[in-house]
């Protein structure tokens, strides 16, 4: 029997490094906790603030990890231009587009939008004031007008946009699973995908994980410092 061409040979390839996977799942838990505690109110607001600081730390980490992390976690690997996006939508992607490895063009837009909106949500939360019992740690640095607008966005508009994006994200996962047979969740759990032989793998060794740990510690320290500014 003839040997199939290399393009048909599949190999288990590391796509998502462990730091990226941990970031993803901790972020999921933190965002769900934020929505729940925000609606419960009362004593749960203490945890709302704590979860907000966790998300702040995660966003800082992801910003840096998007520059130095594993190959497919770097922003450069999924910051697609208009031409690559159009090729994907037409279904005529080139081999060097790597659309099926990490985030495809539509997925990348979702990722960037969610990260940006979460950053705005964190920023508005830091200066918000519900005029009852909860005030963001940096509220004293802004005017009452800005605080009022930030509070409105944080508690109403921004929250529901993020919920809507999360629902769309889940819907996209279900679509790819049931219509295209592409399980997007499993690789974010295991880190691996079956891809054509020769697909570059993401680095995910001890050195990579140690670097992520150091970056995470620096980000946590930075968030602690920012929050303390309002003390």
> Where in the chain are the domains?
15-193+201-228
pLDDT tens profile 200-221: 999 999 999 999 999 999 999 9
* Interatomic CA distance for residues 221 and 202, integer angstroms: 27
pLDDT tens sequence across 123-172: 999 999 988 889 999 999 999 999 999 999 999 999 999 999 999 989 98
pLDDT of residue 100: 84
Stated pTM of the model: 0.92
- The DSSP code for 141 is G
Q: pLDDT confidence of 8, banded at 50, 70, 90?
A: low
Domain 15-193+201-228 homologous superfamily, CATH: Transmembrane di-heme cytochromes, Chain C (1.20.950.20)
């Amino acid at each position: 029997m003839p040997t199939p061409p290399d393009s048909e040979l599949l190999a288990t390839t590391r796509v998502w490094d462990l730091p990226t996977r941990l970031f993803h799942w901790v972020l999921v838990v933190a965002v769900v906790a934020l929505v729940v505690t925000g609606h419960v109110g009362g004593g749960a607001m203490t945890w709302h603030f704590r979860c907000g600081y966790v998300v702040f730390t995660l966003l800082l980490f992801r910003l840096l990890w998007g520059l130095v992390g594993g190959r497919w976690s770097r922003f450069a690997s999924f910051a697609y231009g208009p031409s690559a996006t159009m090729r994907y939508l037409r279904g005529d992607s080139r081999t060097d587009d790597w659309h099926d490895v990490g985030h495809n063009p539509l997925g990348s837009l979702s990722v960037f939008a969610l990260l940006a909106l979460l950053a705005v949500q964190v920023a508005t939360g830091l200066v918000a004031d519900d005029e009852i019992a909860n005030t963001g740690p940096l509220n004293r640095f802004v005017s009452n007008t800005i605080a009022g607008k930030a509070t409105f966005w944080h508690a109403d508009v921004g929250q529901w946009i993020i919920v809507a994006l999360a629902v769309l994200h889940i819907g996209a996962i279900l679509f790819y699973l049931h219509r295209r047979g592409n399980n997007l969740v499993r690789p974010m759990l295991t880190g691996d995908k079956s891809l054509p032989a020769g697909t570059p793998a993401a680095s995910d060794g001890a050195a990579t994980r140690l670097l992520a740990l150091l970056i995470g510690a620096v980000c946590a320290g930075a968030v602690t410092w920012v929050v303390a500014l309002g003390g």
